[in-house]
Amino acid sequence: MSDRQGSGQAPAGGRPAPVGKPLLSLTLTAMMDDVHAHAGGVYLLAPHEPVLEMAAMAGLPRAFAAPWERVGLSAPIPVAEAVRERRLIWVSGEEQMASRYPRIALVLPYPFALAALPVATGNKTYGAVFVTWPGSHPPELSDRERDHLTAACDRLALRLERAAEEQRPVHPEPELPAPATTATVAGTLGTVEVARMVARLPYGLCAMDLHGRISYANAATAELLGVRVSDLLGTQLWASVPWLNDPVYEDRYRAALLSQQVTSFVALRPPGDWLSFRLYPSTNGLSVRISRARAVTEMTRTGPRRGDDTPRLATISHVLSLASALTEAAGVQDVVQLVADEVAPAVGSQALVVLGSRAGRLHVLGHRGYPDAHVVECFDGMPLSAQTPGTHALNSGVPAFFDSRQQLERLYPSLNATPDGMAAWAYLPLIASGRPVGICVLAYAQPHAFPADERAVLTSLGGLAAQALERALLYDAKLQLAHGLQAALLPPSLPSLPSIEAAARYLPATQGMDIGGDFYDLVPSRDRAAAVIGDVQGHNVTAAGLMGQIRTAVRAYTTVGQPPEEVMGSTNRLLFDLGTDLFASCLYLRLDPAREVAVMARAGHPPPLLRRPDGKVRVLDLAGGPLLGIDASATYPTTEVPLAPGSVLTLYTDGLIESPGVDIEDALADLGRRLAETGDQPLDTLADSLVRHGGTATQERPDDVALLLLRARPLD
């Protein structure tokens, strides 16, 4: 190793020191020593990729940062933000981490402070560095710490620049081993005496390294755990003791190392012995004290106390499962339901309200757990300027936690009567893309303490819920727009005709935007009526827009008195005039009740079905031409079909009969049988029956479905 400048100072003359090995680790540890940080890491920018790759880490096992081994420059984490903005990023503690970087806080919900800085020269960025301190660090970074960190990163950037100029690539470096303790001869003798003394203690003592491996355990540890000392050494506690194999216990070890604060937990050794574990961290490992938890043992003998069975977010895996559940939400009500089903029970909340923010006011999006729904009505329409804990949390972006009714009323005297009857509250602002989208209020029936780790988890979940709610609001807005557009393009109702009874149904495809190109219409006239059904290629706004133009054109050509073949020809030429690349199938018919006939023209559309008054059904083999939009000079011959009173014409689009794995001829025959059996029913009932046929009303639909039923009535 040629680089021995552990202090990280530049040599005389201001030139950077030669690049040695391991450059990154030595620079990082020197930087940590200068600012008394206990952990840190170095990222290098990947060549030809907008990605940061971890190159060195010290002070903590690299596994702690496993989710962030490779980080995209657009990722919402501190090192990426430091590179994007070319400035120092400071995170003062777990609440600020949960608010600004919920993804990190979900995985590491512990009290620690972090600084991230870019490693860059004036014209090139090489990577980033982060360092962490225990949660006891002051809330502000001192000028001395800021100056030392900035200077160290500048020196590292110069060394990396020099290495690049000399074509000497800098590679990722392995973790530095924890510093070994040194001892003189007297110290060694002292260590022997200490070991003898520890062996005589009535409680267990063991030592772990940074990776959780046991390096020492006394006899009492083996007796309490029921595992021999030889089987413990070199292993992790939660791996060598079966009843400690739970993520919650490993989580406590991670919490102690990262926060550098004493942590503890209680575990049940089967069948009924409770043991207390207290973890004392240092920069090179942990000391663990194990004793019998008498108070817990007595409690279990007399039964659990009221309130002790409150569900808590105890494990990282549990938290991540809640986060993944939120990604499944599509609409706003999905988000509300998932928060109610997944988040509220996990944190022991008995009721919740999700409020949206729009036009300077709060609006109730959903609520659960309140027997009387009227208790949440006071929130609806509340201005954001009101002095309430919810509006204050939303305006400031800072969550608010109230352990009891007294605490809430002390801070907000005007709320001396809480209308929801609850005793504790968590107000989580929902901030997404830098703007407030709403607030989630979790309510508790009994006073509820919010320890720091639970506040961090709730704040993180609020951030994830905010992103889910933002997506859901956008989804609902698009869905409402699609439904509104579809409703505007289709006839709002069918006209009432003296000689024709009609019923129609439309179902959009379930894949896409819930909007499509299927259409139908019934056009009245003085002595005759016309009906049309068609299908424009596609299930999007373009298809729907073209569908609206075709329907309008057909109605216009009908109104001016064009016969069926001319209506089809004029509509075909219109598609060419519009310059569209889409095609459309169409079936047009002119009804002549006086002659009891229908004159039909077809453009590549599925054949209609005719149910005669005697109940027999036949598929009408009509003459026709190609799809509209294929050939500008195409002609569309007509066919005259008898339509006696009591006859039912069934016009449909292919979505009604086409489904994967089903032969089209079989499906059409099946539809005919259903029409023969149920054709005497009222048309609305018949329409619902035919749509349900084949499951198109309830199952996934790859295509739109349109259905138009026409029943001939006898003339008066």
pLDDT digits (tens, 9 = 90+) for 88-112: 999 998 888 887 887 788 778 888 9
Query: What pLDDT is recorded for position 87?
Result: 94
Q: What CA–CA distance (Å, rounded) separates 505 from 685?
A: 11
pLDDT at 271 over 90: no
- Where does residue 561 rank: exposed (0-12), middle (13-18), buried (19+ CB within 10 A)? exposed
- Work out the percent of the chain whose per-residue pLDDT is above 70: 83
Least confident of 148-157, 367-376, 391-400, 638-647: 367-376
Average pLDDT over residues 352-357: 89
Average pLDDT over residues 221-231: 89
Least confident of 30-44, 290-304, 610-624, 682-696: 290-304
Query: What pLDDT is recorded for position 7?
Result: 38
Least confident of 128-132, 451-455, 480-484, 635-639: 480-484
Give the predicted TM-score (pTM) of the model. 0.49
User: Hey, which of 229-238, 301-310, 416-425, 462-471 has the most confident mean pLDDT?
Assistant: 229-238
Average pLDDT over residues 536-565: 84
User: Mean pLDDT in the chain?
Assistant: 81
**193 or 299, which is more confident:** 193
Q: What CA–CA distance (Å, rounded) separates 553 from 104?
A: 58
pLDDT at 299 over 50: no
Nearest to 420 by CA among 374, 380, 458, 388: 374
pLDDT band at residue 483 using 50, 70 and 90 as cut-offs? low
Show the tokens assigned to 515: 């909007």
pLDDT band at residue 312 using 50, 70 and 90 as cut-offs? very low
Report in angstroms the alpha-carbon separations of 135 from 114, 132, 451: 10, 9, 14
Average pLDDT over residues 679-689: 91
**Neighbouring C-beta atoms of residue 709, cutoff 10 Å:** 24
Per the CB < 8 A criterion, the answer to whether 391 and 415 are in contact is no
pLDDT at 342 over 50: yes
User: Hey, which of 527-541, 605-619, 662-676 has the most confident mean pLDDT?
Assistant: 605-619
Query: What pLDDT is recorded for position 527?
Result: 67
pLDDT at 700 over 70: no
Residue type, position 681, single letter:
Q
Query: What pLDDT is recorded for position 189?
Result: 41
pLDDT band at residue 2 using 50, 70 and 90 as cut-offs? very low
Least confident of 97-111, 176-190, 410-424, 441-455: 176-190
Question: Would you give the distance in Å from CA 241 to the centre of its chain?
Answer: 36
pLDDT band at residue 199 using 50, 70 and 90 as cut-offs? low
Query: What pLDDT is recorded for position 94?
Result: 83
Phi, psi (deg, nearest 5) at residue 633: -100, 10
Beta bridge partners of 655: none
What stretches of 412-490 show up as alpha helix (H) in DSSP?
Answer: 452-489
Nearest to 44 by CA among 135, 164, 191: 164
Per the CB < 8 A criterion, the answer to whether 586 and 607 are in contact is no
User: Hey, which of 1-5, 173-177, 414-418, 464-468 has the most confident mean pLDDT?
Assistant: 464-468
pLDDT at 422 over 60: yes
How many helices (H) and strands (E) the chain has is answered by 21, 27
pLDDT at 513 over 60: no
Query: What pLDDT is recorded for position 324?
Result: 62
Q: What CA–CA distance (Å, rounded) separates 228 from 23?
A: 42
Residue type, position 256, single letter:
A
Query: What pLDDT is recorded for position 339?
Result: 81
Per the CB < 8 A criterion, the answer to whether 277 and 266 are in contact is yes
**298 or 121, which is more confident:** 121
Average pLDDT over residues 534-540: 78
Least confident of 5-14, 71-80, 229-238, 371-380: 5-14
pLDDT at 243 over 70: yes
Average pLDDT over residues 361-389: 84
Q: What CA–CA distance (Å, rounded) separates 601 from 597?
A: 13
Q: What CA–CA distance (Å, rounded) separates 515 from 664?
A: 24
Q: Is 572 left (phi over 0), alpha (psi -120 to 50) or beta?
A: alpha
Average pLDDT over residues 700-705: 71
Burial string for 259-285 (b: 16+ CB within 10 Å, else e) reads bbbebebebeeeeeebbbbbbebebeb
Query: What pLDDT is recorded for position 177?
Result: 52
- Largest interatomic CA distance in the chain: 122
pLDDT at 551 over 80: yes
Tokens 């439309």, residue? 506
pLDDT at 310 over 60: no
Q: How many residues does the chain have?
A: 716
**Neighbouring C-beta atoms of residue 287, cutoff 10 Å:** 16
